[in-house]
Each structure stands twice: as structure tokens, then as C-alpha cells.
Structure 1
Amino acid sequence: MVKIKILINKLFFLWCVIFIALLTLGMNKKENNEDGKIFKNICVEQVNIGNLTINEAKKSILKSYYPKPIYLKYNDKRWCIEPKDIRLDYNIDRSIEEAYKYTREEDKLENIKKMFNLSFKESYNINLHASYDEVKLSSIIDKICKEINVGVKQATIEIKETGQIITTESKEGIEVDIIKLKENIYDMIDKKDIKEINLPINIIKPKISTEAVKSINTILGQYSTSFNDSTSRGSNIHVAGKSTSDILIMPGEIFSYNKSTGARTWSNGYKPAKVIVGGKYVNGEGGGVCQVSTTIYNAALLAGMEIKEVHNHTFPSRYAPRGKDAAVSYGYTDFKFKNTYSHPIYIKNIVNNGAITSKIYGCRQDREKIYIRTEEKYSKDKIQVKTYRIYLDEENNKIRDELVAESKYKIK
């Protein structure tokens, strides 16, 4: 029994030596890329090209894999991207060359191992690696998008000084989802499985809808102050009043006085006028803008706005009661409020005949009965004022109140 096993092992060893010798002999045979054949059981994309010449292998692969046109569709429109337009190439020649050289490397022993595995074990598969011109593809996609994309149209509102409300309707926008489209194309090219693509479209909803602007139908709060119209200060009030007027504030948005007016400089239309600096009146650019912020502040209080930032003057103002002023200084102190309603509001300032009136329009559903009460406390050279907002029901009974601001003034 032992002798038989030894004999079998010797025969197997002898057979392996003969097989290796034959392989080595075959490898030493002079071949070229035109006439030589690819070793058996070598595949490209699972297409078996073993025992085929390079030309035969290419014909075999091209039956299943070749660059096809990419068709894009949207409604009744159709576009074709030809392979040559984007230089689409599956690099078949490169993969066939790799297959041909797989058993023809310089390391002969390694080649013998590969041949042995291919002869008795599993096949060897080589994947095609697609390439294309990304810049050209993007350019073609951009041109197609221009034919389809429609910009979103926001609804608008304009309120005249007479109170007339003019609105325009919103319109949804259409936009090709370029990221998703490119991902689809890249995936098809990578898998060598070209199919027609329905263009992925995003519907862009307007931020300001028709329903939103049409909900503005009443005055929620208004306030007026007077001034000398024939002075530089009066001129500044006109400029600041205009820059903070006709502003739509959506639900949850915050109005910033300084952001609306910008810097109070000569280039922005402001003139030198009296301002308070260090507790003293001096000439400075933009004097008078605090009267505009104060007027809007009082309208905002009566409209039920959430006051986010407000500051009082060093001395009591001549144009507003104590506790009801809003001092501003660009880059330092601001006046801000937030629209906490579920509907938008609209600021309208009217400046003429030595008076400025600020009106805050909104939805009738949001209107509340409000009045403002202040409490004053004197201490030596100062006046401390607490400002409360009182909410009433239909019978003028107090529902609730809230402390809005605490002010401190110097007594001259």
C-alpha cells in the first residue's frame, strides 16, 4: 500500500515537471500582439476571451460593451449626448492588453502559477474602466438646464400712503437637480449600462407666497411724532424714514434698524445735525435718525412685536415720553424686533408736513388690543422708568401684561 502511494506521488511529480516544461517551452515561443492568443479562462467584464487573439477578443467584447448615446428626457423634450461629445471610452484595448500580458510577465515562475490556476482553478476577470470628459459633460448639462429651469417668483406687496394694498402673485420655480443627474450619468457609465434618463426636477417653492402677502389686510399698530421739517435733522428723518419703510418681515424674521438704514454717512444722504455724545449735544452725521427708530418702536409695541433690542437716550427725548424712546448708534446700539406671528408684517413710514407716522400692517387675525403703561421712579439725578405692555380682551379687561424695557435717564 505504501509503495503504491510512493509510485503515485512520483508519477504526479513527473507529470507536473513535464507540464511545467511544456508551459515554459510555450512561453519561450516567439509571439506578437497580432497573432498571439490570450491564455484560457481570462475574462473582461465576465466575457471569456481565453484562446482568442487580440482582435478576436475586441470583437467579442464589443458585442456587449460599447459606448452608447445617453438620452435625457423631460416631458415631451428629449436630448441626446453622443459618446464622442464627452469622449466616452470604455478603454477596451487597455483591458485586452492587460489580459494578453497576464501570463506573459517577466517573472516566468509567476506566469506558470497563473497558468496553472487558470487551467485547474478559477477564471480571472478584468473590469473595463470608463473614462469621459467631465468638463464637456457639465457644459452640455448646463445648456440643457437653461432650456428647462424657470426662476421662482416671489409674491410682492406695496402699500401706498393712502392705505391701498397692491400685491403680485408668486410662482413656483423649476430647476434640474444637477447633482442627482450627474450621479445617475456617472453610475450608468461606471456600470456600462446606458439607459434613458428622466431628468430629475426640483420644484422651488417661493419664500413669499401669494397667500402670505394677501394675509396683510389691516394696521396692527401705528405711532406718530413731529419735527422741524426745514432743518438738516428733518432731512435726515426723511432719509431714515424712507430706508426703513416698505419692508416686509416674514414670520420669525428680525427687523434691524441699523441694517435697514446702513451707515448714517454723507454718501448715504445724511447731513450733520445735533446728536448726543457723552451726555452733550454736538453736531454729527445722522442726527434725527433716533426719532425714526423711536416712532417705529412705538408702532411695534402696539403691534405686539417681540422687542429684541432697545436702548434709551441719556436724557429724555423731546419727541417721545420717557420709557418710549429707542436710541440707535450705527455699529454700537441697534433697535430690533421679531415678528412672532404666523403671518408676515409690513412697515410703512409716511414722512411729510413735519411729522413721521409709522404703521405696521399685518393680518387681522393677529391684531390685539394693546396699550402701553410706564412707571417712573426718581432717585437723585436720575429717573428710572419701566415700560409695560398691557393686553386687553374685547371688554377691555386685562388679559396679561409684560415688562418690555427698563430705562434710566439723567436729569439736566
Structure 2
Amino acid sequence: MLKFTRYRLKLMLIISLLLGSFLMLGMQKTASSKDEKIFKNIFIQDIDIGGLNLSEAKLKVNQVYEPKTIELKYNDKVWRIYPKDIDLDFNVDNSLEKAYKYTRSEDNLDNIKRIVNLSFAGTYEVNLHSSYDEVKLTEIIDKISEEIDVQVQEATLEIKDSGEIVRTPSKEGIELDVVKLKEEIYNMLAEKQIKNTDLPINIIKPTITTEDVNSIDTILGQYSTGFNDHTSRGSNIHVAGKSSSDRLVMPMDTFSYNKSTGARTWSNGYKSAKVIVGGRYVNGEGGGVCQVSTTIYNAALLAGMEIEEVHNHTYPSRYAPKGRDAAVSYGYTDLKFKNPYSHPVYIKNIVNNGAVTSKIYGCSQDRERIYLKCEEKYEKEKIMVKTYRIYLDEENNKIREELISNNKYKMK
């Protein structure tokens, strides 16, 4: 009997709600939406607007979600992005209209189902949708970036022919992290939570620092060779000497002679002169560049550079001892060596008065006592030469010895 009574009460309640819904739906056709209430248990985001008319609901939502000014700060300066600057809108009116019409659709049966559901503790939530002008936002951020960004300055070093060292200091760069800033603003706008924020800044470290160039204070190794200055070959030596000079090689970086000089073509200033091709002397562009590579190679050996690639000529050279020449051919054979020290080195070539001199400058802490030894052995019509580099202590005692190259020459 008790169950039956409860069933009757529940049925009567549902019927009453249905009748009330029909009555309400009929009234909706004549009442003004301005005064009508949004049905209960309807939310905008997390704000309950049930039982409020549109004006009341808008006021309540705007108290929490009205677009605000974005303040961006760096050091003592503040930039402000006003909602109107980027056409920022949370589209509250659209969301309110959706909430209001949830129980006022064209389908009365759906309306009744929704009313019943909301009446029995059901809820309906409408999310706000942020909209803004992406182009305008980007333009504003770019202008801020122009005010903040400072170009990084690499330290520079120039060693004159006289040996005078001219240095300029390095300077850190400052860069607005545009990607990160945009991401932060996008998240603010998507979540409708505007807040002040510090601008994300990247500090750009120079690759070549003041400390790097200041560490170069002495000559680690040098070597000179002579040539006839009044020939095409001599002209090529001038060109190659200049193009491979004034090169700063950072720690663990590799110097490439071919990369420094470029192709030995007329357009690069080279002339035809005698070169060895296939064991024969012929005229070719760039004759003489091997003398410069050989001069640099000997300076590199004495400076303690780590030799990565070197090739001897077919025949012994007139301008360097056997086992200490460096033949090069653009695109085929190269002279390469690595700077093994924790400080940079600087290659300086001086070409004048029929001599080319290569000096490798570096830090006095890296200076080593080195001498070179070549062992010759004759086999039939060939000369076999082993080249060694020997390191000495302050009392000229041998510390270590390393084999640099195995060389093979034809006898003339």
C-alpha cells in the first residue's frame, strides 16, 4: 500500500511538471524574452545563471569573465594589450542566448524532456568561446620584440702584420621569446583567465667571447718559405695567403685549407702556373697554393695542432723538407687540422718580399716545446719518409713522440 502511494505521488508530480511545462511553453509565445527567466540548473562556464533574466545573467557572468587588459612586464617597463586592440571578445551574449533557448527550442517535446531533466537535479553548461584578431596580436608582439631585442655581439680579433693585436669585446644578446609569449597569451584567452605576466626573455650568449680573444697572447708556431714574387705563381701565393689568413679556430674546431681559399679559379683571383698532375708538371689554375698550405702545415705542426688530413706531393718540394709538405687539390685533397686546446687559435699569414710566413697565435698556457723529425728510407726509385712530432719539457727532455705521417715520393 505504501509503495502504491509513493508511485501515485511521483506520477502526480510528473504530470504536474508536464502540465506546468506546457503552460510555460504557451506563455513563452507571448511573453517578452527580456523579462523571462533562464531555467534553473543552467550554467555559463561554472556560473549558475538559473532563474535570472538575460540582463541579470549577463551582469553576473561579466563580473567574472569580462575581457581585461593584458599587462606584460620586463624590468621596469610595462606594455598593455587592451581588449579592443585585438578585438578580444568572450562572446557572452551568444552563450546566454544558447542557455536561454535550451528550454525554448522549436521542438516542444525536447523542451519538455530538458525541463524535466533540469527539474530533477540535472544540469546544462554552456562554455564561453574566446575570439580575437590573431594578426593584430602578432603585430603588437612584434613591436614589443623590436623594443626589447638586442643583437648579440661576437668578440673580434685582428692581428696586424706588425704583430699588433686589436680586440673588441663581446656582448650578450637579448631576445623576446615570441613563441612562448604567444603560447601564454593563447592559454589565457582560451581559459578566460587574464593575468599580468613577465615577458619570457632569452639571453643569447656570444659564440666568441671577450675571454676567448683575450686569451690569445703569443705565437705557438710559425714557419716561412721563399718564392719568386714576380710570377703568376707568386701572384697565386699572395691570393691564397690572404684568403687563408686571419682565421680564428675555436677549441675542437677544424681548419680546412680548401674551405678557406675556395676554388682556385680566375674568378677568385688565381692565375695559371705550374702544377703537378699525374706526376707531371703542367700549367693549371692555382699553381703555388700548395706552398701556402705547406707553410701553414709546418706552423700547425709546431703549434701542436691535431692533423686530420695531409698529403705529400708526388715529388719532393723545393720549399720544404721531405715529409713536411702538404699537397692540396680543390675538391680532392685538403689540409685539415683541429685545435686541440681549450683556447682558440688564430692563423696569420704574411706574404711580402718573396716570402710567405704563417704564424699560429694562441694562449701562452698552451705553448709547447716541439721539434720535428723526419726519417728517410730509399726503396728502389721511391723515397719513404716518416714524420714525427716530439714534445719536450723545460729541460729539453722528450715527453712523448707521435708519428704524424707516412710519405712516399718518386725520385726525380
1:251 is matched with 251
1:174 is matched with 174
1:9 is matched with 7
Structure 2: how far apart are the matches of 1:319 and 1:244?
Answer: 19
Q: Could you tell me how far 1:54 is from its partner in structure 2?
A: 2.8
1:400 is matched with 400
2:95 is matched with 95
Q: Is the 8 A contact 2:323 2:385 kept in 1?
A: yes
2:213 is matched with 213
Unaligned runs of 5+ in 2: none
- Which one is further off, 177-186 or 351-360? 177-186
Q: Could you tell me how far 1:234 is from its partner in structure 2?
A: 0.7
SS in structure 2 of the partner of residue 63 of structure 1: helix
SS in structure 1 of the partner of residue 103 of structure 2: coil
Confirm or deny that 1:134 pairs with 2:109.
Answer: no
Confirm or deny that 1:390 pairs with 2:390.
Answer: yes
Instruction: Give the 3 Å change call, closer, same or farther, for CA 266–15 of structure 1 in structure 2.
Output: same
Q: Could you tell me how far 1:71 is from its partner in structure 2?
A: 1.8
Deviations along 1:79-105, one digit per CA (max 9) or x if unpaired, are 221211111111112211221233344
Counterpart residue identity of residue 12, structure 1: K
1:151 is matched with 151
Q: Could you tell me how far 1:7 is from its partner in structure 2?
A: 4.0
Q: Is the 8 A contact 2:155 2:210 kept in 1?
A: yes
Q: Could you tell me how far 1:14 is from its partner in structure 2?
A: 4.1
Instruction: Give the 3 Å change call, closer, same or farther, for CA 381–119 of structure 1 in structure 2.
Output: farther
1:27 is matched with 25
Within 5 Å, which residues of 2 pair with 1:243-322? 243-322=243-322
2:161 is matched with 161
Within 5 Å, which residues of 2 pair with 1:173-192? 173-192=173-192
Deviations along 1:213-270, one digit per CA (max 9) or x if unpaired, are 1111110000111111111111111011001111111112111111111111111111
Counterpart residue identity of residue 200, structure 2: P
Deviations along 1:167-190, one digit per CA (max 9) or x if unpaired, are 111222222222222222222222
Q: Could you tell me how far 1:24 is from its partner in structure 2?
A: 4.1
Q: Could you tell me how far 1:25 is from its partner in structure 2?
A: 4.5
SS in structure 1 of the partner of residue 273 of structure 2: strand
2:325 is matched with 325
2:116 is matched with 116
- Which one is further off, 302-311 or 179-188? 179-188
1:365 is matched with 365
Counterpart residue identity of residue 19, structure 1: L
2:70 is matched with 70
Query: So what's the TM-score if we normalise by structure 2?
Result: 0.93
- Which one is further off, 97-106 or 286-295? 97-106
Structure 1: how far apart are the matches of 2:14 and 2:398?
Answer: 106
Q: Is the 8 A contact 2:41 2:121 kept in 1?
A: no
Structure 1: how far apart are the matches of 2:102 and 2:309?
Answer: 76
Q: Is the 8 A contact 2:17 2:116 kept in 1?
A: no
Structure 2: how far apart are the matches of 1:193 and 1:376?
Answer: 81
Counterpart residue identity of residue 14, structure 2: C
Q: Could you tell me how far 1:116 is from its partner in structure 2?
A: 2.8
Structure 2: how far apart are the matches of 1:240 and 1:63?
Answer: 75
- Which one is further off, 299-308 or 316-325? 316-325
- Which one is further off, 189-198 or 240-249? 189-198
- Which one is further off, 100-109 or 166-175? 100-109
Q: Could you tell me how far 1:113 is from its partner in structure 2?
A: 3.7
Q: Is the 8 A contact 2:226 2:354 kept in 1?
A: yes
Structure 1: how far apart are the matches of 2:22 and 2:317?
Answer: 106
Structure 1: how far apart are the matches of 2:132 and 2:314?
Answer: 70
Q: Could you tell me how far 1:336 is from its partner in structure 2?
A: 1.0
Structure 2: how far apart are the matches of 1:201 and 1:13?
Answer: 67
Q: Could you tell me how far 1:109 is from its partner in structure 2?
A: 4.5
Structure 2: how far apart are the matches of 1:114 and 1:148?
Answer: 55
- Which one is further off, 187-196 or 129-138? 187-196
Deviations along 1:29-75, one digit per CA (max 9) or x if unpaired, are 42675454322111112222222333332222122221112222223
